[in-house]
Structure 1
Amino acid sequence: MFIDEFELFLFDADGVIYVGDQPCLGSAEVISWLQKRGKGVRILTNDSRFSREEIQEKLSRMTIFLDKEDIITASWCAAYYLQKMKASKVLVVGTDALRREITEMGVTLVDDSPEAIVIGFNEDLKLKEIQQAIHYVERGVAFIATNGDISYPTPKGRQPATGSIVRLIENVTGQKAFIVGKPSSFIFQIAQNGYSSETRTIMIGDSPEIDILGAHQVNIPAVLVSAQSIQYPSLRDYRVPDGQVNNLFQLLEESFQLDSWKKPDFPWPEKIEVAVAALIFNKNKQVLLIERKDNSYWALPTGRMERGETLEEAVVREIMEELNLKIRVKNLVGLYSHPSDQVLSYSSGETIQFVAACFFCEIEEGDLRNNQFEILKSGFYSVSQLPHPMVESHRRWIEDGLRNDGLTVFR
């Protein structure tokens, strides 16, 4: 039986355990069944409006009985995170329940000169509160959000949630929030506190973008609760559930089975962008390389395509901006998109999957001069003695170019 394979069951709340004040079909019965068999049960909710005590009371009215420590809210995770970062003065945008969770961790709430800002959700939120948060985020104050959920389910339909406010602040300030709730790995790590790293854990949720993705990022299998058919084009997609049920009762059926989840060898990208690279040889068959300032790796000259550009225009512009060289594009070496090579994570917190076009190019004019903001060193190097450390995928692009068989590589 599926249930026997796991020891700790993590349930989303809204849409899985209840909707509004009404329990979902099978929630009370299935949780009671698990508890009687000695299984660990915990709730993971991104709802920052309520404290753990308030959710505990709500669950008890539905005959679902859990200890407060088994209710993991994004609000409490935010408070826990503030304690870890040793923030003593914090500006909070959210409900009184969120404020209580934070003050109970010994943190002082302030309106002026905060060390951190925490964004939650409140139906009575005022525009001036958001403007105040923007003011401090622009000045570099730590920007923390309970979750990134754009909306949440109610009996009357979906309503805007914390993520809508967070996106607004991010768009205005250009700063990215640290999310403590799902799908962040932070809340899943906290949810397993008190259990060993060997504990067999599973997530049950109703959102592929939040519950399934979050669980898979920390290599936890996940079941989707939904009557809708969910399909994604690739099995490497972190949002693909390992199983799906219409209601929680189906988890107890003998016929219910999970697909096995194997975490891919790349982190989940937030977006896809187009990049270009130039493969340039001198008359001595040496290749032009740069030492990147952001990570000190050696690489081919690369850059991102801007809106309104063609690929050819992009690579010509990038080489002029980075190396003061006017080039002519000869032909396409390869088009590279496999996530194992093309998903990159940056110190800013961004993770991007690139579709990269590498071109054979030749120099028409110019003196090699580095853009000091992006490049530490540049020069021509023998392909048999490439500098170290080298971006491994670029090493393969050079090999593709050296084949010189006239065929474009797709990888």
Structure 2
Amino acid sequence: MSCNYLMDMDGVLVSEEHLIPGADAFLAELREREVPFTVLTNNSIRTPRDLRARLLGIGLDIPEESIWTSALATARFLETQRPGGTAYVVGESGLTTALHEIGYVITDVEPDYVVLGETRTYSFEAITTAIRLVERGARFIATNPDATGPSSSGSLPATGAVAALITRATGRDPYYVGKPNPLMMRSALRQMGAHSENTLMIGDRMDTDIIAGLEAGMQTILVLSGISTPQSVELYPYRPTRVISSVADLVGHTDNPFEVAQP
């Protein structure tokens, strides 16, 4: 079986700022065999260049063009919906750079969209501005629905949690572009020049990675190196194609990943 690979980043290749054992060997084998792959992340904080530098620092060599973020997927979506539009952005450089690259103007004066992304410095003033603009008719977009994100000290409020605050204040729900929306998977497939029929999705979350892969028409592998456990898998009405301990199990099997025995 020859296939392309889409894979989540956190929980699959890295855990916070640490390499998951075997991830470097797995990616090295993909590169050696010239197997196309793309790394996905719902986090919109960093640009692909910044993420590449971060990953290099912990031992993973991933080209910029092989990194696809929810910020890039959001920009691609907005470019198809309203080319050359305007947006008020609550987020960081990964999101603002992606929007600038498609020709968007970032403004707080009657923008077409309010675009909410990940940031570690949410301000009351920025959220208040976003609420007022949505009330005045700006369309509400969010990069991803994740309610919390990890840190060494515990959970951090993430995009989904702040989106809920804006929704409660305005009565308007955002359109989420990132996982589990299969739109993000399809945009990554187009970026890679691949088709769902011969692409495999690897993730550590049933409620984002696996369901997004399934709904995009891909076979899926769940790794147990992130948040999922064999017990938690049984709580869902759908199943991945295969469950493995980590991507280390795929080393030597990248041409036929379903040879790997399940734990």
| TM-score, structure 2 as length reference | 0.87
SS of equivalent residue, structure 1 residue 250? helix
Deviation at 1:196, TM superposition (A): 4.3
Q: 2:260 aligns with which of 256, 263, 285?
A: 256
Asked if the contact 2:244/2:261 (under 8 Å) is kept, the reply is no
Residue 212 of structure 2 aligns with which residue? Answer: 214
Question: What is the CA distance between 1:253 and its match in structure 2?
Answer: 6.8
Tell whether 2:106 aligns with 1:114.
Answer: no
| Residues in 1 aligned to 2:120 and 2:138: alpha-carbon distance in whole angstroms | 25
CA distance in 1, matches of 2:64, 2:144: 20
Select the structure that is richer in strand.
1
CA displacement, residues 268-316 of structure 1 (integer Å, 9 cap, x when unaligned): xxxxxxxxxxxxxxxxxxxxxxxxxxxxxxxxxxxxxxxxxxxxxxxxx
**Cα-Cα RMSD:** 2.0
Q: Provide the rounded CA distance (Å) in 2 between the counterparts of 1:27 and 1:197.
A: 24
Deviations 1:319-373 (A, max 9, x none): xxxxxxxxxxxxxxxxxxxxxxxxxxxxxxxxxxxxxxxxxxxxxxxxxxxxxxx
1:7 aligns with 3
Q: Name 2:55's counterpart in structure 1.
A: 59
Alpha-carbon distance change, 123 to 252 in structure 1, aligned in 2, over 3 angstroms: same
1:223-372 matches, within 5 Å, as 223-226=221-224, 228-229=229-230, 230-232=232-234, 237-238=237-238, 240-252=239-251, 256-257=260-261
Aligned partner of 1:151 among 148, 154, 164:
148
Indicate yes or no: 2:98 matched with 1:101.
yes
CA–CA separation in structure 2 for the residues paired with 1:176 and 1:54: 30
Contact 1:15 1:153 in 2 (8 A): no
- Structure 1 contact 26–248 (Cα < 8 Å) conserved: yes
Between Structure 1 and Structure 2, which shows a larger proportion of helix residues?
Answer: 2
Q: How has the CA–CA distance of structure 1 residues 84 and 23 changed in structure 2, closer, same or farther, with 3 Å as cutoff? A: same
> 1:6·1:202 contact (CA, 8 Å) conserved in 2?
no
- Give secondary structure in 2 for the equivalent of 1:222: strand
Q: CA deviation at 1:199?
A: 5.1
- Correspondence 1:133-152 to 2 at 5 A: 133-152=130-149
Q: Residues 74 and 55 of structure 1: is their aligned pair in 2 closer, same or farther, counting only changes over 3 Å?
A: same
Report the Cα offset of residue 170 of structure 1: 2.0
Offset, 1:256:
1.6
Is contact 1:19-1:153 (8 Å) kept?
Answer: no
Distance 1:198 1:71 in 2: 18
Query: Residue in 2 aligned with 1:283?
Result: none
SS of aligned partner of 1:42? strand
User: What CA distance in whole angstroms lies between the structure 1 residues aligned with 2:19 and 2:7?
Assistant: 13
Shift, 1:33, TM fit: 1.0
Q: CA deviation at 1:243?
A: 1.9
Any unmatched runs of 5+ in structure 2?
Answer: 254-258
Q: Which residue identity is paired with 1:102?
A: L
Q: Which residue identity lines up with residue 204 of structure 2 in the other structure? A: D
2:256 alignment counterpart = none
| Runs (5+) with no aligned partner, structure 1 | 259-411
Task: Choose 1 or 2 for highest CA Rg.
Answer: 1
CA separation of 1:241/1:159 partners in 2, compared to 1, >3 Å: closer, same or farther?
A: farther
Shift of 1:143: 1.0
Give the deviation of 1:62 after TM superposition. Answer: 3.2
Indicate the SS of the match to 2:146.
Answer: coil
Q: Helix, strand or coil: the match of 1:72?
A: strand
Paired AA for residue 217 in structure 1: E
